[in-house]
Amino acid sequence: EVQLVESGGGLVQPGGSLRLSCAASGLTFSNYAMSWVRQAPGKGLEWVSTISGSGISTYYADSVKDRFTISRDNSKNMVYLQMNSLRAEDTAVYYCAKGFMVRGVRFDYWGQGTLVTVSS
């Protein structure tokens, strides 16, 4: 059974940094693209970033480009999101999602999410 478990969320001040982690199990991890998708309180889904199975290719939403960095460690079945220069508008539940790179990326399974709150 596939499991994706996010961690690392919490309260951070504007301008601060946070690193999210996603631990994957029950799958051949390097076969899948991994992504982060966020959802602000009471709002819809917003794609944040994707990394290919090999880790060679990465993609970012304009809203986080140059502030967030996605990475993965296939030896540990982990994917990370380093978030710098955080803003109030980054407040959201951050979901880790596995999927397939087909032109863009198709998500087929999501973790339960971790809440990031940016506030002074």
Partner 1 sequence: DIQMTQSPSSLSASVGDRVTITCRASQGISNYLAWFQQKPGKAPKSLIYAASSLQSGVPSNFSGSGSGTDFTLTISSLQPEDFATYYCQQYNSYPITFGQGTRLEIK
Q: What distance, in Å, lies between the first and last C-alpha atoms of the chain?
A: 40
Question: Is residue 106 at the binding interface for partner 1, with CB under 8 A as the rule?
Answer: yes
CB of 99 to partner 1, least distance (A): 8
Q: Verify binding: residue 61, partner 1, rule CB under 8 A.
A: yes
- 31 is an interface residue for partner 1 by CB under 8 A: no
- In angstroms, the Cα distances linking 28 to 11, 20, 52, 56, 81 are 33, 21, 13, 17, 20
Instruction: Please give the structure tokens belonging to residue 58.
Output: 């990465």
Residue 15 found at the interface with partner 1 (CB under 8 A): no
Residue 44 binds partner 1 (CB under 8 A): yes
Please, are residues 36 and 70 in contact by the beta-carbon 8 Å criterion? Answer: yes
Residues that bind partner 1 (CB under 8 A): 35, 37, 44-47, 50, 59, 61-62, 95, 102-113
